[in-house]
Structure 1
Amino acid sequence: MEKRTLKDAEPKERYFSPTLQDSQPEIDEGVRELGKLFPFIISGGSNTERFYFTHINDTTKYKFNIRPKYFNDESNYIEAFKKRIEEILKANSDAKIFCVYDWDTIFPKTGNQEKDAKFREKYNKEIENGVITMCPSMPSIEYWFLLHFVNHTSLLKNYSKVSQLLAPYIKPCFPEQNQKNKLKKLLKAEKHLKNPQWVRILCEKGKLETAIKRAETNIQKAEEKNDLINQSFSYVYKIFNSWQ
C-alpha cells in the first residue's frame, strides 16, 4: 500500500487550535492510499466543521486530507481559502478541494457577495473542471445536520432558525451530562466536539446516506424550478459523492 502522510500529522496535534499561525510555510502534500489522493477539506468554520470532518474521517469509510489550519474564522474565510488552495495545488497537481462554508455569511451582505463572486471568478477554471468544489449550506452546516433527521426544505434564514429545529434531534447525540447545554455551546465548544460520539450517532443507521440523498434531490428539484433562493440547501453532499 502506497501511503504518504502529512508532515505535521501527529495524533497529538489533531486538536490544536486552528487560530495558531504557522511559523514557516509547509508543503501540503496530501495522504494517498493505493495511488488515490484523498479529498482536501477547507472550511470557514473553525470548530464545528473541523471536528465533524475529523470524526467522519476516523469513524466512517470516507477519508479526507484534514489539517487544523484548513479551518478558519468565518469572517475572513475567502482570503483563507485562497491561501490554502494555492498551498495545496502547489504540492498536489491532482488534488480535489472542497470549500465548506455557511451561506448566511454571504447572502445578506453585499460586500461578502462581491468577495464570493470575485473568488469564483478567480478560480473559475478550477471550479469548472472539478478541482475546486464549492459546498455552501444555507443558512449553515447545521442545516446539513438537520437533513440526517428530517427533510426540511423551507427557507431558514439564520442559525437561530435552524438550531431551533435541530436541537431536539442532535442533543441526544452528545453524552447525557452535556445535553443540558444550549445547542450553540455544544456545536461550537471544543470540549464537547472533540468526543466523536456525536458524529458516530449522527451518522448511524443510514442517517448519513439519507442526508446525502435528501440534500442532492432537494437541490436538483429546486434548480429545475429556478427556486433554490427560496429554500434552505446544503452542497456538503458533494464531498461524500466524490467517493462513489
Structure 2
Amino acid sequence: MRHRHQRIPLRDTVAIVGDGQTEAIYFADVRDTDRPKNLHIFPDFPGKIGSYRGVLDRALELSKDYTYVYALIDMDTIIQDRQEGEYYRRKMEVQNAGVKVLENNPCFEMWFLLHFIRTGRLFSNCEQVSTELSRRGRIENYSKSGKFLSKAKLYSNYKDRLMNNAMPNARTLEDREGQDELYPRAQTYLFFEWYFNK
C-alpha cells in the first residue's frame, strides 16, 4: 500500500532587528500573541545597544537566512552625533541587499505613543517621548526595563489601538519632506502593513 505524503507548506521567515531589548521583547510578544502559522518571527538585537551600525550589520547577516529582514533604527543618536551622512550611505547598502530599514524618531517609543495620540511634535530625545507615554490614560509608569516590558505585553494589550490609532497616526507623519531633521516618525507601521496583509 502506498503512503501518501502530505506536503507541509514552507513558512516564510522574518527577522526583526532593533538596537535594544525593547524591540526584541515587543516583537516576541507579536509572535507569541498571534502565533502565525505561515510565518516564523525572529526578534533580535545585536547586543551593542544604541548602535545603528550593529543593527544594520546584524540585519545584513540575517538576510542570508531569512525571507524578510527588517532593521529598526532609532534616529536620535544618529542625529545627536551628526552621523546622518554615514548612516544614509550604509542604509542604502543594506536596502540594496534586501533589508527593509524602518526609522523611528527619536526612538521606538514614538511607535507606542502613536497608539494614544496623533502628534507631529519635535522630540529631541527618547526621554521626552517616554514622559509623554507615561501620562495618565496611556502607559503609566512606562519603563524601558526588561521586567516592565515583558510584563506590560505592549502588543497584545494594545493591538486594537495599533490598528485603529498607531498605524493611521504613523502614516500621517510620512509625507513631511523638507521638515526639520527632528520630525517624528514611526515607520514600524510599515512592518504591520505587510504583516496584517501576509
Q: Could you say which TM-score interval applies, normalised by the shorter chain?
A: 0.7 to 0.9
The AA in structure 2 aligned to 1:148 is H
Q: What CA deviation, in whole Å up to 9, does each residue of 1:38-89 have, x standing for no partner? A: 32101111x2111111111111366552154x34323334135314422x23
1:155 maps to 122
Matches within 5 A, 1:1-244: 34-45=9-20, 47-60=21-34, 65-68=41-44, 70-86=45-61, 88-92=62-66, 95-110=67-82, 112-126=83-97, 131-168=98-135, 169-171=138-140, 179=141, 183=142, 186-187=143-144, 189-195=145-151, 197-203=153-159, 206-209=160-163, 210-220=165-175, 222-223=176-177, 226-227=178-179, 229=181, 231-243=183-195, 244=197
Distance (whole Å) between structure 2 residues aligned to residue 155 and residue 143 of structure 1: 11
What is the Cα-based RMSD across aligned positions, in Å? 2.5
Q: Which is strand-richer, 1 or 2?
A: 2
Query: Alpha carbons of 1:64 and 1:35: their partners in 2 closer, same or farther (altered >3 Å)?
Result: closer
SS in 2 for 1:208: helix
The AA in structure 2 aligned to 1:79 is G
Distance (whole Å) between structure 2 residues aligned to residue 136 and residue 39 of structure 1: 18
Q: What CA deviation, in whole Å up to 9, does each residue of 1:154-185 have, x standing for no partner? A: 111111221121102112xxxxxxx4xxx3xx
TM-score by length of 1: 0.67
SS in 1 for 2:80: coil
**Aligned positions, number:** 186
Distance (whole Å) between structure 2 residues aligned to residue 208 and residue 240 of structure 1: 9
List alignment gaps of at least 5 residues for structure 1.
Answer: 4-33, 172-178
Distance (whole Å) between structure 2 residues aligned to residue 91 and residue 150 of structure 1: 37
Runs of 4+ in 1 over 6 A off after TM superposition: none
Is the CA contact 1:78–1:115 (under 8 Å) kept in the aligned structure 2?
A: no
**RCO higher in structure (CA 8 A, sep ≥6):** 2
Distance (whole Å) between structure 2 residues aligned to residue 80 and residue 233 of structure 1: 18
Distance (whole Å) between structure 2 residues aligned to residue 80 and residue 190 of structure 1: 19
Distance (whole Å) between structure 1 residues aligned to residue 184 and residue 51 of structure 2: 23
SS in 1 for 2:79: coil
Q: Following TM superposition, by how much is the alpha carbon of 1:141 offset from its aligned partner in structure 2, in angstroms?
A: 0.8
SS in 2 for 1:41: strand
Query: Alpha carbons of 1:154 and 1:51: their partners in 2 closer, same or farther (altered >3 Å)?
Result: same
The AA in structure 1 aligned to 2:76 is D
Is the CA contact 1:156–1:232 (under 8 Å) kept in the aligned structure 2?
A: yes
SS in 1 for 2:47: coil
TM-score by length of 2: 0.80
Q: What CA deviation, in whole Å up to 9, does each residue of 1:126-162 have, x standing for no partner? A: 3xxxx21111111111111000000011111111221
Distance (whole Å) between structure 2 residues aligned to residue 160 and residue 196 of structure 1: 19
Q: Which is helix-richer, 1 or 2?
A: 1
Distance (whole Å) between structure 1 residues aligned to residue 52 and residue 155 of structure 2: 24
